[in-house]
Structure 1
Amino acid sequence: GSTNYVTVEYSAPGNNYGTADLYFFNETLSSKSGNGYFLNSNTINLQQYTSIQIGWTQEKVVQHIGSQGIITSQSGTVGSPNEFTTVQYTGSQSSSSSATFTFQGSILSSKSQYGLDTTVCPITQQQYNQIEIGWTRDEVTNLVGNPGIVTSESGTGNTTNIGVQYQVAGSSYGRVSLGFYGGKLN
């Protein structure tokens, strides 16, 4: 048999800088990509990100943000509890920032962000050395003087996982990442 590949490109109405490409394999849409105008429709800001809660449905997240995002991976049986979908959005303030959401059976199971929160949350070497495994997030916050930037969240209640990042005081590039499970540093 013969194999048929077709690419169709659309331009955004009234916008010279946006194109959407649809890729067909044997007359079935196999993938799609967009840039410019089309890419910007999948953006998120920090306020939207922080208000989204673990346990929300994928539909509620899409309604809250106002766009579908880009599906970066999908596995399992569609519509079943073992379906996993990962969706990514680009930060509205910077194209190098992003938010990623993972859904299990269309329920949000984890979320993470990179560069959406640009707050500087410093930590010194002395403070870092004082922190002990098993401390609560409040104990760390009280010592350091700020809560850090939450970079990832998953789980609920006693199984909550939270990733927090600090910037090393006096350094532009140094980072300290801490992981809390069930409210305690692990």
Structure 2
Amino acid sequence: MSKVSAHETNDDAIEFSEEELVALHWWLLRKVSLLSDPRTPLDEKFELVRWVFTDPVRDTQPFSFVNCMKVVSGSPLSQLPFIGAIDAQEVRDWISSQLYRWFMTALQDYPEWARQAVLTKPDWISDNLFKNPQWMNEQIKLHEVDLFASLNAEDGESHSNGHGGRGARQTGRKGGCHA
């Protein structure tokens, strides 16, 4: 069986069998299924979208989405039955047709402004998440409304003078609520 070398450092080489390389291509392709999982973090979803929809110039590169499909669909060593050539554009079109639903399912617990940002500025969101995977969480924390301000708004009263209405926190009085 033929072996392919990959260099970990300048001195050490790791050899992969052809079967191991086909298995690695299959492992990468299976990652695409994470797009449909609402629990997959947004940064991973955007990374997968970048990989699947990369510049066509890169399609012939090792471990590109298209190259992984060619290897897995055409190798007798594949874990899949032989299926022959697959039209990468058809697969991309199908994935593209599902992305809105997959992202909306994943974003259902996000604030409305965050969902709209992902829909209207996906490249900007993706770029920020690429730089910092916690960026969206940080933005949500920055935009959270103070709990007591939202309670006061529900009362329809201005409580800036320190006097609370229904549901407001009482302090300094015997029998009052203390948080």
Does TM-score exceed 0.5, indicating one fold? no
TM-score (norm 2): 0.24
Q: Taking structure 1 as the reference length, what is the TM-score of the superposition?
A: 0.24
Structure showing greater radius of gyration is 2
